[in-house]
Chain A
Amino acid sequence: MTLGEQYIAFKAIVIKEVLRFLRIWVQTIVPPVITMSLYFVIFGNLIGSQIGAMDGYRYMDYIVPGLIMMSVITNSYANVVSSFYGCKFHRHIEEMLVSPLPYYLIILGFMFGGIARGMMVGLAVTLVSMLFTDLPLHNLAVVVTTVILTSALFSLAGLINAVFAKSFDDISIVPTFVLTPLTYLGGVFYSIHMLPELWQQVSRLNPILYMVNTFRYGFLGISDIDIGLAYAIIFGFIAALYGYALYLLKTGHGIRK
């Protein structure tokens, strides 16, 4: 395929993916907005008002970036894992496999679909958060790049999960038993400086900590970790997951007999 044709093919996958989640917006966009609104009311307003300042910010202001990031992570992952597994289950992945689409383009197409959903949900949750707080904006570039890179990372992770999944149960195991605990322990609700030294070091092994803190830095200008290191870790994960996803598709794992 020429570069122009590859761009058309890539666009076709992204459009298909975006139309897919927009067609079922009540299931894809609305629930995270409602969930996060409850977090804002309960943890931010009711409980947060009883908690003192965190790193110089009101508790509500402190947790909002983390909650936005939490919805971005969950939704970019959920978008690709369910869409790609659905393609496998209903066999319309074959539409792509019989075409001259290179595998890397299939991965990028699904990844950008996941980024689109992550960003759309992130934006919706941000808008709702404005009802509860006047969120400062320290660095727009950091906010935008973090949300794009994080949703790219979790889209790739979702795709790999879908490649291995053999049933619909398999696509909910990782979000339930891995993603949710890592997110809750990734500094969304607290600073790791509040933990004993040992648990601070353990927390540093959690990749979500770096994304949440970088995102929080973009809004508030505060972070538990070094921003440069955070970017390096995010890029490293993206490269590793992309390489692995490409290897899986090229070898036909889970998609070809």
Chain B
Amino acid sequence: MTAALAIENLTKTYANGFQALKGVSLTVRKGDFYALLGPNGAGKSTTIGIISSLITKTSGQVRIFGHDIDHDFNSAKRLLGLVPQEFNFNVFEPVEEILVNQAGYFGIDRPRAFARAEQCLRQLGLWEKRREQARDLSGGMKRRLMIARALVHQPKLLILDEPTAGVDIEIRRSMWAYLRELNAAGTTIILTTHYLEEAESLCRHIGIIDAGELIEDTSMKQLLGQLDMETFVLDLRRPLRALPPLERGNVRLLDETTLEADISRDNSINFLFEALSRHNIEVLSMRNKTNRLEQLFVHMLENNGGDKA
């Protein structure tokens, strides 16, 4: 099956001599939801810039659904939608005009462009704002406008470079829901984000770039399977002065009503509840202390030459 995105030995050295990419190769399958993660300056945005023709590569090959971006850029670009990290629309143009212009650049005539713009703006909750200048939109609306613009020509591969940076949790969750729908409808999505719970919640495959190299490219399930221990925080109904002795697990009392427990992935968590029940300790709620992906991410970067995150 043709990959949605195939990158081979991609390198980029900027004019100042900085080597941003040192031979990155990765493949994103058709229909996938792929997270491209890495610390700031790792090479994520450079990779995306090259895929979308905003940055000139030094060497290597990029194919979008089998179309080489050098030799068949027309077909390749039609299949690609980009939501960049920074706002890059004309803030003085009305919202609808931004989408209609973008559709025009893809050769979509104005009647069809207006229809597509309406569809995208309605889906992203911006239809009522269509006549307003983009500068008058809130931060969250501007983010959604960028997504609407990227979708106006109906791309099969959508790349989002930190799409939820700086938006509140409500908007972020509505954007997640929309992206899930889009992916379920067949659009391949590549996402870069610094919110690792976002990547864990949305993506099926993950690539981690550090210092211009791809240090991990695997499925989310396999990656999370590498965790051998998880830490949970338990909120107790009644205050506890001292922790009774428990047979297994490393359990600590953080304060009178909060426990912290390290549980091996080989063990069932039931034993902890049974042990606490035996001592008449009632648990009100429980949560992961840290995001699982975050734990692995930091660990990998440390192994790759120090804490750069």
Contacts and interface: CB of A to CB of B under 8 A. Distances in A.
A91 B146 CA distance: 13
Interface in A92-137: 92, 94-101
B107 A8 contact: yes
A98 B109 contact: no
B56 interface: yes
A8 B110 CA distance: 8
Contacts of B89: 92, 95
B106 interface: yes
Contact of A100 (B54, B77, B109): B77
Contacts of B102: 95, 99
A16 B97 CA distance: 8
B74 interface: yes
A252 interface: yes
Interface in A8-57: 8-9, 11-13, 15-16, 19-20, 23
A2 B107 contact: yes
Contacts of B77: 98-100
Q: Secondary structure at chain B's binding surface: helix, strand, loop or mixed?
A: loop
A242 to B, nearest CB: 20
Contact of B107 (A1, A15, A90, A91): A1
A125 to B, nearest CB: 26
B88 A91 contact: yes
Contact of B52 (A2, A98, A252): A98
Contacts of A16: 93, 97, 101, 104
B106 A9 contact: yes
Contacts of A256: 53-56
B82 interface: yes
B104 A98 contact: no
Contacts of B110: 8, 12
B14 interface: yes
B92 A23 contact: yes
Interface residues of B, number: 35
A257 B104 contact: no
A83 to B, nearest CB: 10
A2 B107 CA distance: 8
A226 interface: no
Contacts of B73: 100
Contacts of B90: 86-87, 90, 92
Interface string B6-46: 00000000100000000000000000000000000000000
Contacts of B149: 95
A6 interface: yes
A96 B105 contact: yes
Given A100-B106, A100-B107, A94 B54 contact: yes
16 contacts: A2-B107, A5-B106, A6-B107, A12-B101, A12-B103, A20-B92, A87-B90, A90-B90, A91-B86, A94-B82, A94-B88, A95-B89, A99-B77, A252-B56, A256-B54, A256-B55
Given A94-B88, A100-B106, 8 more contacts: A12-B101, A12-B105, A98-B82, A99-B102, A256-B56, A257-B14, A257-B54, A257-B55
